[in-house]
Each structure stands twice: as C-alpha cells, then as structure tokens.
Amino acid sequence: MSAPPSPEVSSPPPPIPPSGRVRHFWQRVSEGRQIDDLWSQFTADARSSYGFYGREVDWDEIHKLPAWRRPLHVAKAFFWALLLKMSPARRVLLLLAFFMLFLSAGKSEVNYEIIAVMLFVLLLSLELADKVTMKRDLEIAREIQTWLVPSQPPEVAGANIAFATRPQNSVAGDYYDAFYPIPEDREKLIVVIADVAGKSVPAALLMATLQASLRTIAGENGSLAELVARLNRYACAHSLNGLRFTTAVLSEYNPAARRLTYVNAGHNAPILRRANGTIETLEAGGLPLGIRLEGTYETASLELRPGDALIFFTDGVVEAFNESGEEFGNERWLGAIRNLPDWDAQQTLQFLMKRVDEFVGATRQSDDITCLVFRSR
C-alpha cells in the first residue's frame, strides 16, 4: 500500500525589508493620502476646532486688554473651554497629567514624564472610544435618514430632476423630496426643500417628523394652501416656542399644464433661470413653519417652459466659506446659475456644485448643503 502523497509545503514569504515595512506602516496610517492632502485635512480640522472652542471665549473682553496680555488670556480661555467639555473625572485626569509634567521639570528618582504620557494616552483613548461609539450611532442614524429622502428622482413628463445633499455632520437637518401623493395619479407632483433650524441629531429628528407629516397630509390630496397650513400647525406644536422652526419651499407641479404652484415659508428663494437667460425668484409665501400658529401663507404660480431651470437650495450653499473666511454668497451663486449650459438636471447640478467646491477648497463645511434642480425639457 503506497503512502499518501505528502502535502506541498510552500516556502515562507521573503522577509519585508525595513524600507518596505516603513512604507507599509505609512500606507496604513495615512490611507494612501498625499502629504498635501493630509496637511489640508489637518488645517481644516485645526480651523474647525479653533472655531468650536473660540465660541466660548469672550473676545470683547480680550480686546480690551493690552496687546501683550492677550495671548495668555486667550490660552487660558481656550484651556477652560477644552476642560469644561470633558466629564469631571476626565478633567481631574487631565489636570493630574499636567501636574506630572510640572513635577518632571525637577530632579526626582520617579519618572513623572512617563506617568504624564500614560495619563495623556489613557485620556485620549477614553475620548476616542466615545467618539467612535458616537460615530457608529450617527452612521446608523444617517442610514435611517437616507430612507426618508428619495434615492432616485421620479420620472416627470417634460422635465427631469436631480438632487444632492451634504450633511455637515453624519446627519442633517436639511430635507428634500419629490413625489406623487397618489402614485397612480401623475397630474400632481410635490417638490419640497426644507431646512430645520439647528444642526446634527436634534435637527435630523425634527426633519424626520416633518417628512412623516408631509407625506401623510399630502396623501389626502388637498390643496397646497391647506397642506402648508396644517404643516405649520404641526410645526408650531413641536417648535419649543419658536426655537425649532423650519424654513421650506413647498410646491406642486402639473406636468400637463407645465404649471408650478408654490409657497415659500421663509426659505432661501428658489431661482428660476429662463431659457432666454432672465432670472426670477420664488418669494411669495410667509413666515417659517413653527413661528406663528395663525400665520398666513400666500401661494403663487408660474409656467415652466422648455429650457427653464429651477434651482432649490438651502442656506448652506450661499453661506459656504473658503480658507479666508469669505462666503460664497448670493452673487457668486447667481453668477453660476446665469452661466448654466443647456444641460439636463443632473449635469446642471454637477456644474453648480463644482462652482461651490472650487470656491470652498479644503475648508470644512459649516452647515448642511442641499440643492435640487428641476429642469424643464
């Protein structure tokens, strides 16, 4: 009886040279990013952190001091802003680490520097664990939020739609939608864009309730005026005495008549660029939703002709700023819209967002950015 064939033994891989290990380590740490990209990311993070902690500084009092005293007081204010963001136990840990660094300045048999470093690493690990946990929860919230807005635009006779949104954080307070209240009835399309006051999770939760209310009320197939009035009543009941209001533009479009009826509830006025290049703004309406229970809202109508482009957007677009702190602004936005090529909605959207991106550069955005393009064919 012959012996079974022995398994093939592969030779061990050749050892990685030191230069290869360094390169592999660097690729893993940097995720393959170039130095310029890493530096841009660092400067954006530093600028964002400076703004975050700088909000806690009383700059008016700082400017009253002599110039030579200001740096120390600014450093002190930033230190307290940082310290008070931590839990009491971690504040003590941070102060203890600094105390160990102070002790390390003197001669001692105890290596206080090592203790200080270990305390700083422990504190960093605790803060990082919180951030990772919160980031995971926010990613789940973001995934849920994507279910509340359309992933693909609806088909519209004689027109096409495109939209894009970029939350400042993982979740956003911006909302956009385009849907038929009664799916089998293609004579009325609801198009809406909204911005809940605030950012992140609180705004996202109110956005979700707004979406649910809008879909429910629109499904009853009432008039646009009735839809806005009922949404305003709902928003007033959940606005914390007007603190959590919502700006919005709500419209309904009749494809057969090419007629759009709209209400602007305190939102950035959508811009209509006619095929001949003239500009119109959609301003008729009233106060933001949730401000006044008895608020009245004016409706207006217009006809969309072939080649017209209607741009809905939130304030994050025009308030985007660059590294110098300069805002993109309404004039640049209007200039981009005036120069629109005769493209479909998706290409138009990409053209507009590219203008914003070129202006902003690597600066971290300060607000949610949402844009919806309605292009008549």
Residues 298-355: tens digit of each pLDDT = 999 999 999 999 999 999 999 998 888 899 999 999 999 999 998 999 999 999 999 9
Q: Tens of pLDDT along 115-141?
A: 999 999 999 999 888 888 877 877 777
Task: Return the pLDDT at 8.
Answer: 47
The predicted pLDDT at position 323 comes to 81
Conformational region of residue 164, where left means phi above 0, alpha means psi within -120 to 50, and beta covers everything else: beta
- Is the domain of 77 the same as that of 160? no
Asked if residue 17 belongs to a domain, the reply is no
Q: At a CB cut-off of 8 Å and minimum separation 6, what does 37 contact?
A: none
The answer to whether residues 295 and 182 belong to one domain is yes
Range of the domain at 171: 150-376
Residue 89 confidence (pLDDT) above 60: yes
216, 340: one domain: yes
210 and 71 in a common domain: no
Percentage of residues in the chain with pLDDT exceeding 90? 48
Q: Is 181 inside a domain boundary? A: yes
Q: Residues 6 or more apart from 234 whose CB is under 8 A from it?
A: 209, 213
Residue 279 counted as domain residue:
yes
Q: 98 and 180: one domain?
A: no
82 and 183, same domain (yes or no): no
pTM over cut 0.85: no
The total domain count for the chain is: 2
Q: Are residues 30 and 57 in the same domain?
A: yes
- Closest to 54 in 3D by CA, of 77, 31, 20: 77
Q: Are residues 275 and 337 in the same domain?
A: yes
**343 and 213 in a common domain:** yes
CATH number reported for the structural domain that contains residue 196 in this entry: 3.60.40.10
Give the list of residues 6+ apart from residue 236 with CB closer than 8 angstroms, or none. Answer: 289, 290, 291, 292, 293
Question: What was the pLDDT predicted at 318?
Answer: 93
Contact by Cβ (8 Å): 280, 302: yes
CA separation for the pair 118, 83 (Å, rounded): 18
Residue type, 253: Y
Q: How confident is the model at residue 205 (pLDDT cuts 50, 70, 90)?
A: confident
Task: List pLDDT tens digits, range 260-287.
Answer: 999 999 999 999 999 999 999 999 999 9
Nearest to 359 by CA among 320, 314, 331, 316: 320
**CA angle at residue 61 from 58 to 66, to 5 degrees?**
130
Mean pLDDT of 167-181: 83
Same domain, yes or no: 167 and 231: yes
337 and 243 in a common domain: yes
Domain boundary residue, one of 144, 163, 178 = 144
